[in-house]
Amino acid sequence: MKLTLKEKLSVLPPEPGCYQMKDKHGTIIYVGKAKNLKNRVSSYFTGAHDHKTTRLVSEIEDFDILVTKTEKESLILEINLIKEHRPKFNIIFIDDKSYPYLKLNRTGIPVVSVSRDRKQNPKFMYFGPYPNATAARKMSELLSETLPSDAGFVPNKQKIYTTLNHTEAVWSEAEIDAWRQNLVKVLQGNDKGFRDALVEKMMHASETLNFEVASHYKEKLEALDYISDRQQVQFSIRESFDMFSYAVHRGYLAIVGLFVRSGRLLEKTMALEATLEDPEDALLSFISQFYERQPKPKHVYVPNIVDAQSLEELLGIKVSHPQRGNKRQLLDIGKRNAEIQLESQFEVLQSRQEHLESALVELQHTLNLNQPIRRVEIFDNSHISGSFAVSACVVYDDGEPNRKLYRRYKLSTGSDDLASMREVIYRRYFRILKEQTQFPDLIIVDGGFNQVKSAQEVLDDLGLTIPLCGLVKDDRHRTRGIMDCDGQEKSVSLSSALFNLLTQMQDEVHRYVITYHRLLRKKKMTASILDEVEGLGSVGKKQLYAKFGSLKNMRQASIEELSAVVSTSVAQNIYELLHLEME
């Protein structure tokens, strides 16, 4: 027999461990750790809470606990459980995008390139990370256009790589090694010699009235200034480490990460989130998530609030608390940056949160729903005269778009809008039924009563009772109101929070479906043009796109340039066909 929440609370042990809160679907919605499970878990069900905790508690239908021997074990278990289940009430700080590094090959011709490799290749040296991707790209472009000692200006990367193919005949091994060492110095921040050489060459070009070359050198110097302005030297000792600081205010947490490489503050990153967790737990969660996707330094510095020993064991690198000197000063600077971030954005964040909550409550009342609306799924269809029929589903959780859950569909129903709606609703919710994943609290279709009726028929056939409505639009295709399943139009005030949210949802699903529709049309058009080229196979097409990037660039290429990828006869066919398409 299943115990009630009250019965489970009464038998909780006063020991360390982790707890997992579950909703009515059995989905884990929050994971936490505790020194004393009995006290910590019971606290959720007694006394007053802030808004986010109140929302969590309102969704808890069950919980599980895992007892551990020590707090350190519970920390490691908590992080692994969050990583596995990604509960919606835990902060998932870091998205799937890793920060770029610059990498330089250790052998052969030196080439600097941008890398997002999560595992560093020993054949390369890595410099970074660069949370500012623009800085990484500019530095890569700058150094990729630089020859040994910058001997002679090379105006574009294509020419330098053409030159590199014959490098053995141009430069000796000693010159190449010196070239690599100079690149390393620049990447480590020792750019004075490099800068002086660029200035000298710019001045010489200007004095000899070669203004085009002088302009190119000026652009190089500006790129170097752009990068250097974002790399402030902090230490006389040339150390490399990462450091994390934080600040909290009324349920919001700001975290600042500082990356020091060879004594230079390379970059910083920020996270600002509403949190249920203690600052220590949230900071630990952030750092562990961060290094899932980033190469680890040899040393990390953290505030005293963090259990350095546990984090060290978790990461497998040295973790310390800076107590004095310039590292302590840098930690304080990071904390002040976090405080400034909170001060400047707290009111905006709080106002936005209240705005979204107001909109969702108004939507619930407008549709006379008994349950709060947390997840909304919105559908829109698109086609041209029955061709390229597609549909899209966008997902909003608590009024915010959850882009990882967006889905798009190729449809087989052509120009029949109602059949298209039936097809996409069936495919979406049959799959959710099959996979036993989370249903939305509300479905919105971008259309009037006929679209709503078609969607409702499919839900009935599947045996699902999910609230459903449509978006009614005016003559200018703007949201005017909501259409319920009975065909009743519910008006929405243009000045309301609900109107703003519905408009945002409509714009987002329309953007997503149109983007997909255009992508399919572009692929079809591109494929049909190149498929007509006699003698050109799939491998040749891939090589052409790898070389030129787009049809536009292929049209601008000469027969000789096309011949570098395919045979001369095929290049002639491509050239004639693409220029015929332009007539």
The CA radius of gyration of the chain, in Å to the nearest whole number, is 30
Does the residue 285 lie in any domain?
Answer: yes
Are residues 22 and 111 located together in one domain of the fold?
no
- Max CA separation in the chain (angstroms): 92
Strands (DSSP E) contained in 192-345 are 232-233, 241-249, 252-261, 264-274, 299-301, 318-320
Q: What is the mean pLDDT of residues 372-393?
A: 83
Are residues 20 and 72 located together in one domain of the fold?
yes
Specify burial of residue 414 (Cβ count, 10 A radius: 0-12, 13-18, 19+).
middle
The tens digit of pLDDT for each residue in 23-57 reads 888 889 999 988 899 999 999 988 777 667 888 88
* Inter-residue contact 263 to 232 (CB < 8 Å): no
Domain boundary residue among 34, 57, 85?
85
**Is the per-residue pLDDT at 230 higher than 60?**
no
Lowest mean pLDDT among 260-269, 272-281, 535-544, 567-576: 260-269
Q: What is the mean pLDDT of residues 243-269?
A: 81
Are residues 142 and 199 located together in one domain of the fold?
yes
Domain boundary residue among 30, 59, 85?
85
Does the residue 524 lie in any domain?
Answer: no
Nearest alpha carbon to residue 554 among 539, 567, 569, 541: 541
What pLDDT, on a 0 to 100 scale, did the predictor assign at position 378? 97
Name the residue range of residue 413's domain.
Answer: 375-519
Question: What percent of the chain has a predicted confidence (pLDDT) above 90?
Answer: 22
Does the residue 538 lie in any domain?
Answer: yes
| Amino acid in the structure at residue 81 | L
What pLDDT, on a 0 to 100 scale, did the predictor assign at position 525? 61
Are residues 114 and 161 located together in one domain of the fold?
yes
* Residue recorded with tokens 């060459």: 201
What pLDDT, on a 0 to 100 scale, did the predictor assign at position 346? 74
Does the residue 368 lie in any domain?
Answer: no
Are residues 417 and 515 located together in one domain of the fold?
yes
Domain boundary residue among 519, 543, 569?
519
- 29-61 residues labelled b (16+ CB within 10 A) or e (exposed): bbbbbbeebbebbeebeeeebeebbebbeebbe
Does the residue 20 lie in any domain?
Answer: yes
Residue 336 per-residue DSSP state: H
Are residues 180 and 67 located together in one domain of the fold?
no
Q: Which residues pair with 503 in a beta bridge?
A: none
Does the residue 245 lie in any domain?
Answer: yes
Q: CATH number of the domain that 63 lies in?
A: 3.40.1440.10
Does the residue 91 lie in any domain?
Answer: no
What is the pLDDT confidence band of residue 364, given thresholds at 50, 70 and 90? very high
Are residues 427 and 536 located together in one domain of the fold?
no
What pLDDT, on a 0 to 100 scale, did the predictor assign at position 439? 93
Q: CATH number of the domain that 404 lies in?
A: 3.30.420.340
Nearest alpha carbon to residue 142 among 129, 154, 125, 126: 154
Lowest mean pLDDT among 98-102, 218-222, 223-227, 550-554: 223-227
Are residues 483 and 551 located together in one domain of the fold?
no
Are residues 248 and 216 located together in one domain of the fold?
no
Q: CATH number of the domain that 574 lies in?
A: 1.10.150.20
Task: Quote the CA–CA distance of 463 and 486 in Å, as a whole number.
Answer: 18
What is the pLDDT confidence band of residue 465, given thresholds at 50, 70 and 90? very high
Are residues 411 and 475 located together in one domain of the fold?
yes
Are residues 253 and 199 located together in one domain of the fold?
no
Question: What's the structural domain count of the chain?
Answer: 5
Residue 28: helix, strand or coil by DSSP? Answer: strand
Are residues 247 and 325 located together in one domain of the fold?
yes
Does the residue 350 lie in any domain?
Answer: no
